[in-house]
């Protein structure tokens, strides 16, 4: 059985739209595209490199697929070129070679090598994928697809880098999520204050109470007015 792992860059208020640049995704009037580069450091880069070192396939929504397909196949591979970047080249090599599973209504237009369209029933397709043999299924971006995965409890692990800023508006990570508990399995803090954390799915949400065993008359009245 394969795990679904959500990899995401997120702001303190849960926004994950257009982290890499102003032209990445300005839809909805989003004006803060490119909010990650000023806060990027070696720890953030190392976390990405570590995560990409293990075998995985990509599980993507169509818009994120289009962003990736217009970028990664065109990364400079010549180490003598002025714009050569070793990390980008390593990621491009991996992304180009692995399988990309894509939620799309236009399967015939998937032109990036090793791309496969999910079926029209995305939930059923993803459940079938999870039951198959193979490496983990890693999401990147893909907020609309994530909403479906969270709503149907299909996410096994979160790998988040939470950056110290609020963006106010934009596409959010947990839109549509059901109540679910997660367990912190790994964490680090970058030099710019970003929290690098991994969370594993951990059953249902548990609740308790700090209330007095014998509530005061004022508390009883307060509760009554809430009904």
Listing DSSP states for 195-213 in one string gives EEEEEEE-SSPP----S-S
Residue 196 pairs in a beta bridge with 161, 188
Residue pLDDT, tens place only, 33-64:
999 999 999 999 999 989 999 999 999 999 99
Residue-wise over 188-209: b if at least 16 C-beta within 10 A, else e? eebeeebebbbbebeeeeeeee
Q: Residue 102: its pLDDT value, please?
A: 98
Residue pLDDT, tens place only, 144-182:
999 999 999 999 999 999 999 999 999 999 988 999 999
- In the block, residue with structure tokens 């970058």: 190
Q: Residue 196: its pLDDT value, please?
A: 98
- CA of 124: how far to CAs of 54, 88, 135, 148, in Å? 26, 33, 19, 11
CB count within 10 Å of CB 85 equals 13
**CA 35 – CA 19 distance, rounded (Å):** 5
- In the block, residue with structure tokens 């237009």: 109
Q: Are 4 and 130 in contact (CB under 8 A)?
A: yes
pLDDT at 81 over 90: no
In this prediction, residue 76 has a pLDDT band, given cuts at 50, 70 and 90, of confident
Domains, in order of start, for the chain:
4-207 (3.40.430.10)
Residue pLDDT, tens place only, 86-111:
878 888 999 999 999 999 999 999 99
């Amino acid at each position: 059985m394969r795990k679904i792992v959500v990899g995401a860059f997120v702001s303190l208020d849960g926004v994950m739209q257009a982290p890499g640049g102003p032209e990445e995704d300005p839809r909805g009037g989003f004006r803060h595209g490119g909010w990650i580069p000023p806060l990027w450091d070696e720890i953030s880069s190392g976390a990405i490199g570590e995560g990409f070192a293990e075998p995985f396939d990509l599980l993507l929504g169509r818009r994120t697929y289009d962003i990736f397909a217009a970028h990664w196949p065109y990364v400079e591979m010549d180490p003598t070129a002025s714009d050569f970047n070793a990390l980008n080249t390593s990621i491009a090599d991996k992304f180009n070679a692995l399988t990309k599973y894509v939620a799309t209504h236009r399967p015939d237009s998937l032109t990036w090598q090793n791309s496969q369209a999910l079926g029209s029933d995305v939930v059923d397709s993803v459940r079938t994928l999870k039951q198959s043999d193979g490496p983990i299924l890693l999401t990147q971006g893909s907020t609309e697809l994530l909403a479906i995965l969270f709503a149907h409890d299909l996410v096994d692990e979160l790998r988040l880098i939470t950056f110290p800023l609020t963006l106010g508006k934009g596409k959010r990570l947990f839109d549509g999520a059901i109540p679910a508990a997660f367990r912190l399995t790994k964490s680090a803090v970058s030099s710019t204050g970003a929290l690098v954390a991994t969370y594993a799915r951990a059953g249902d949400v548990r609740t308790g109470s700090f209330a007095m065993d014998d509530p005061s008359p004022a508390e009883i009245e307060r509760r009554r007015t809430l009904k």
